Amino acid sequence: MTSSMLDLATVVRTIPDYPKPGVMFRDITTLLGDARAFRRTVDELVQPWAGAKIDKVAGIEARGFIVGGAVAHQLSAGFVPIRKKGKLPHQTVRMAYALEYGQDEMEMHVDAVSPGERVILVDDLIATGGTAEGAVKLLRQIGAQVVAACFIVDLPDLGGAEKLRAMGVPVRTLMAFAGH
């Protein structure tokens, strides 16, 4: 972890016992509210693909919209929102994904990505990887080439980043917190 990454980790607020006892919630709203930290975060996420041909950045609802939109802007790429079922107005494609206690579905517009387009998936945090795995499958279902997945925070003990790597998706994270 570089010193700039370490500095970013100090801007993330930790809320103990949220949303349930034993969970250490990593809250990036403090990072988003700090202009320098937010700018450095976006720069660090973009850096490996600066100058590369990236067609779209897909962001997972909701914090992935904030970070993904900024990354798309920096890469001069389009932005694709991936949302919970029933939130998009046009024809969609849908994918079920695993939650800690059950299942949910996510959607994106059927015409949001063309076959062969190079896409980077962005969200704020990777934990168990169920949501990100579902998003990768959804993007691939319509023919996207998922170039990488980027997250501000990794909770490595929960194995989500490794799950994506096992799917052949390179993963970039800026900081990791042990435990959950």
- 36's CB contacts (< 8 A; 6+ apart) are none
Q: Are 166 and 136 in contact (CB under 8 A)?
A: no
DSSP string, 28-60: THHHHTSHHHHHHHHHHHHGGGTTS---EEEEE
CA dihedral 136, 127, 106, 165 (to 10 degrees): 10
Token code pair at residue 42? 């976006």
Residues involved in catalysis: 63, 100
DSSP H/E element including 176: strand 171-176
Joined tokens for residue 86 = 């029933």
